[in-house]
Amino acid sequence: METSNTEENQEHKEVNDNLAFENRLNLSELQQNIVNVKKELKKVIVGQKEMMDLLIVALLSNGHVLIEGVPGVAKTITAKLLSKTIAVDFSRIQFTPDLMPSDILGTSVFNVKTSEFEFKKGPIFSNMVLIDEINRAPAKTQAALFEVMEEQQITMDRTTYTLEAPFMVLATQNPIEQEGTYRLPEAQLDRFLFKINVGYPNADEELDIIIKEQALENTTKIGKIETIISGEKIIEFRNLVKQISIEENLLKYIANIVVNTRSNSFLYLGASPRASIAILSASKAFAAIEGRDFVTPEDIKKATIPVLEHRVIVTPEREMEGLTSKQIIAQIIEAVEIPR
């Protein structure tokens, strides 16, 4: 408990320190709300600081998140808890090999009374959508998500239905080497702002998890979480994040990093222009959380690996040597000169 209070005091101190900046944008409300959201999540979640930070950045950046890890490391519960802190509609879809596109998007049903077909909306029509084990559904079902993730709309029977903002997909998946899973198409991976890899907790964290579980008694994990932000505020904060300024030399820095992924001999597939835009959006959100209305090279570095890691493909030769996309991206970041 003492450690938790220390962390909380440190976050409040960071808020106060950052507010000392003479910002042209007032980020104090955004910053304080984010501190409160993290405080709620920490009531249940132990450790996983990076995952919480990236989820919040994605929320502010209008992006979707793919969370990968073995079963039981709090992927699903973290996504559910985050949705509880926001006063918006939430739906959960369990992906299975027999799931059809209509099970997600909805379908037209004949109404006997009116003698007309009516469109019955599927579970994707929500604000925050948790897709559990996304890699257990085949390509046909995965393809059903392309339009809604990119354009936040669905076209059915020549009619386009626009989803209500804010809209965010939180998808979990088990590592690809486990049985009964399908590899996600590159076009779909490119639509996720971040891929977050969740590992096992250490011994101290494991003990803390057990202690918190014992302390629950008759309450549920979800029941301990309070709602902090309204959907309208999220939209307002997203518009505020877009106004964060970034110098032209830092835009060139982002472009140079992404272009280097396309010419790197260790990579079979480089990052798309969508990745450059994702780094820009995420770095602005990182700056806003720190209470700054301008982007620094450090913000860009924080965003680059989680944005690019799932968008590039390592050559088979380097993969056999044990090199990962994360390591190669880190090398590219070190090789690209930081603007002064």
pLDDT per residue as tens digits for the range 4-47? 555 555 555 555 554 444 678 788 899 999 999 998 888 887 87
* Residue 193 contacts residue 284 (beta carbons within 8 Å): no
E strand intervals along the chain: 65-68, 86-87, 90-94, 106-111, 116-121, 128-132, 153-156, 159-162, 168-173, 194-197, 229-230, 267-269, 313-314
Instruction: Count up the domains in the chain and report the number.
Output: 2
CA separation for the pair 89, 77 (Å, rounded): 16
Q: Is residue 318 domain-shared with residue 295, that is, in the same domain?
A: yes
Compute the average pLDDT of residues 55-67: 93
Residues 297 and 285: their CA atoms lie apart, in Å, by: 13
Domain-terminating residue out of 243, 273, 291: 243
| Whether residue 265 is found in the same domain as residue 126 | no
Q: Please tell me the distance from the alpha carbon of residue 114 to that of residue 261, in angstroms, as a whole number.
A: 56
Q: Clarify whether residues 65 and 177 are in a common domain.
A: yes
Same structural domain, 195 and 62: yes
> With bands split at pLDDT 50, 70 and 90, how would you rate the model's confidence at 278?
very high
Determine the Cα–Cα distance for residues 232 and 228; give it in Å rounded to an integer.
12
Where residue 14 sits, what CATH number does that domain have? 3.40.50.300
- Residue 115 Cα distances to 106, 111, 153, angstroms: 19, 5, 27
Task: For residues 107 and 330, give the distance between their C-alpha atoms in angstroms, rounded to a whole number.
Answer: 45
Q: Binning pLDDT at 50, 70 and 90, where does residue 114 land? A: confident
What is the rounded average pLDDT of the residues 249-260?
Answer: 96
Give the domain CATH number at 338.
Answer: 1.10.8.80
| Same domain membership, residue 286 and residue 214 | no
**How high is the pLDDT of residue 303?**
95
Asked if pLDDT for residue 128 goes beyond 80, the answer is yes
Predicted pLDDT at 50: 85
Same domain, 249 and 229: no
pLDDT at 4: 52
**Is the predicted pLDDT of residue 261 greater than 90, yes or no?**
yes
Question: Can you tell me the distance from the alpha carbon of 329 to that of 309, in angstroms, rounded to the nearest whole number?
Answer: 7
Q: What CA–CA distance (Å, rounded) separates 148 from 168?
A: 10
Q: Do 276 and 223 sit in the same domain of this protein?
A: no
254 and 239 in a single domain? The answer is no
Structural domain range at position 236? 2-243
Model's pTM, two decimal places? Answer: 0.85
- Residue pLDDT, tens place only, 194-217: 998 888 887 887 888 888 777 776
**What share of the chain in percent tops pLDDT 90?**
46
Q: Is the domain of 231 the same as that of 296?
A: no
